[in-house]
Amino acid sequence: MSEQNEHPEHSQGGTYSVKGKEFTRDTRYITTRITADGRDGFAVEPGRYRLVAARACPWANRAIIVRRLLGLEDALSLGLPGPTHDARSWTFDLDPGGRDPVLGIERLQEAYFARDPEYPRGITVPALVDTTTGAVVTNDFAQITLDLSTEWREHHREGAPDLLPAEHREELDAVVRRVFTEVNNGVYRCGFAGGQEAYDDAYGRLWTALDWLEERLADRRYLVGDTITEADVRLFTTLVRFDPVYHGHFKCNRNKLAEMPNLWGYARDLFQTPGFGDTVDFDQIKKHYYVVHQDINPSGIVPRGPELSGWVTPHGREALGGRPFGDGTPPGPVREGERVDPDHTPLRA
């Protein structure tokens, strides 16, 4: 990370800095992989690893969605930190006694230090932790979901969708790259720009990409092919946070998502699909951004709005065809202990 104008954020998919007034994400991760053949020293083994993934974080939310779509609940347990954290680490304040019931730790930082006592970078989610040692194996959020689809295939549920269809892989990879650089990361470039010029550039790039997506989704139900893929998962976690957080908090305010007919219909379609909306906790999302980002919101006030009932209104996207799960089936009911408020009500007093 840069030593100039550094602004560390130890929460979501990497630390970042503001250098030359432009937001820069530190993408140096622990790149060890958990694979079927164990070539990095960590073989896929049901029950051995724990996915630590805060619902508030978009990068972690995608891992929660993929785990659920693929039916990996029995093979890979889920630890859920609370929505806020201090400069040191995410904490397990939602669990009894403030400790993760499997790892026995209060802070995710403890699992990073078990891997490297002098770990120098941000304590990020998602992270895969080896329960036999208590140490983080990887926090490479982009690779984690790819490996859940490929390396963990033997443990997928019957009827699990193919989120990485080979016949569309080249197009899928290109779309995913643009979605990450211009949208997933684009909202952060707006929110943490250190000057007007940097903000204006970030804002222009973001809305160019969102306009491209609005046009792309005019005559297709999903981003690539006619089924849900990894690309949809990655875009959804930004879209579901757009009106509640990014529009105001990150100054991405040309218009609301709800004012873009195709993107709004697409986002509602996914939200109402098992595996997507049932992983979303708007209370935690808003509390995280508005409380943790004290430089942007020094008062710590969490907005009451926006109204959320629109997420469950008819979207009409079925008319475009498509088969959400391809030849597969939807995931079953959400597991006990992993359910969110079904009403998705705004943050309460």
29 carries an active-site annotation: no
d(CA 329, CA 227): 12
Instruction: Given the residues 29, 49, 188, 246, select the one marked as catalytic.
Output: 188
**DSSP 8-class letter at 331:** -
d(CA 261, CA 249): 22
Task: Find out whether 105 and 112 touch, Cβ atoms under 8 Å.
Answer: no
188 carries an active-site annotation: yes
Instruction: Given the residues 57, 190, 203, 222, select the one marked as catalytic.
Output: 57
Task: Find out whether 176 and 230 touch, Cβ atoms under 8 Å.
Answer: yes
Helix runs in the chain, H state only: 58-70, 109-115, 141-150, 169-178, 186-191, 196-216, 230-241, 261-271, 282-287
Nearest to 127 by CA among 34, 57, 43, 60: 60
Task: Find out whether 66 and 38 touch, Cβ atoms under 8 Å.
Answer: no
Catalytic (active-site) positions: 57, 188
